[in-house]
Amino acid sequence: MYDKSLAIMQKAVALAPDNPQILLNMGAVYAQAEHFTEAAVWMEKALAKDPNFINAIEHLAGVKTSLKKFEEAIDMCRRIMALRPGSMLTIPKLES
């Protein structure tokens, strides 16, 4: 299934190389096969086309975690929080 998905996405990229969603989808194919380095490359290409593409940032944070690049994953999470400030759960302060 991986080979078929990869072939389909390669055709899609050839048809629309500037489409961030297609670039992200190519990265997702690699991520599903646990080819995280390749996945990161494609997700970063998606972000180069649209720096505020939340889905790409979220997926890239997961890929960076899988690559044990934790500081980069944290940076991705910070970007998400900056773009969607109310989207993350906040930790309530404990009263003493």
Does the pLDDT of residue 7 top 50, yes or no?
A: yes
Q: Name the CATH code of domain 2-83 (choices 2.40.10.10, 3.40.630.30, 3.40.50.300, 1.25.40.10).
A: 1.25.40.10
pLDDT band per the 50, 70, 90 thresholds, residue 88:
low
Tokens (6 digits) for 74: 């944290």
User: What's the longest Cα–Cα distance across the chain?
Assistant: 60
pLDDT for 62: 95
Q: What's the pLDDT score for residue 84?
A: 85
Q: Determine the Cα–Cα distance for residues 76 and 73; give it in Å rounded to an integer.
A: 5
pLDDT in tens, 16-67: 999 999 999 999 999 999 999 999 999 999 999 999 999 999 999 999 999 9
Domain ranges of the chain: 2-83
Tell me, what's the pLDDT at 91?
42
